[in-house]
Amino acid sequence: MSGEYFYGPTPKGASNRYGRPSKPTDPRGRPGAGRIVSILTGHGHGFIRLPDDRQVYFHRADLQERTVFNDLRIGDAVVFELLEDAVSGARALRVRRSSTPAK
């Protein structure tokens, strides 16, 4: 066994114990825009329709700071970062209301 132990988060740039670089803790996606098409307030998530008619999932934890989940309404234009995940599918991150209407 190694005599070195780290408590707490792994130092930036360090690899995990298997010798591979650790995953980024703050995923980034490409810019996107759309309109909210459904909101399930009790579940804390909803869906955004993109201009190409595809729907993307978002969770209340994915909202940008100072954006209140309960203030969002169906039809609201929003901007976000679109994260394409091979396992769970597309997801909208850092969602906020748009100042310009989406098409």
Which is higher by pLDDT, 87 or 79?
79
3-state secondary structure of 60: helix
**Structure letter (DSSP) for residue 24:** P
Per the domain annotation, does 21 fall within a domain?
Answer: no
Confirm whether 22 is domain-assigned: no
Q: Do 34 and 50 contact (CB within 8 A), yes or no?
A: yes
**Structural domains of the chain, count:** 1
- For residue 88, the model assigns a pLDDT of 85
Cα 37 from Cα 56, distance rounded (Å)? 10
Could you tell me what percentage of the chain is helix, strand and coil, using 3-state DSSP and rounding each to the nearest 5? 5, 40, 55
* Residue 5 domain flag: no
pLDDT for res 71: 92
In a domain, 40, yes or no: yes
Residue 60 domain-assigned (yes or no): yes
Is residue 1 assigned to a domain?
A: no
Please report whether residue 59 resides in a domain. yes
Taking the C-alpha atoms of residue 78 and residue 97, their distance in angstroms, rounded to an integer, is 4
Question: Which CATH number is 71's domain given?
Answer: 2.40.50.140
Is residue 103 domain-resident?
no
Is residue 81 predicted with pLDDT exceeding 80? yes
Domain that holds residue 83: 30-97
Look up residue 71 and give its amino acid: D
> For 13-37, how does the pLDDT look when each residue is reduced to its tens digit (9 = 90+)?
655 555 566 555 666 789 999 999 9
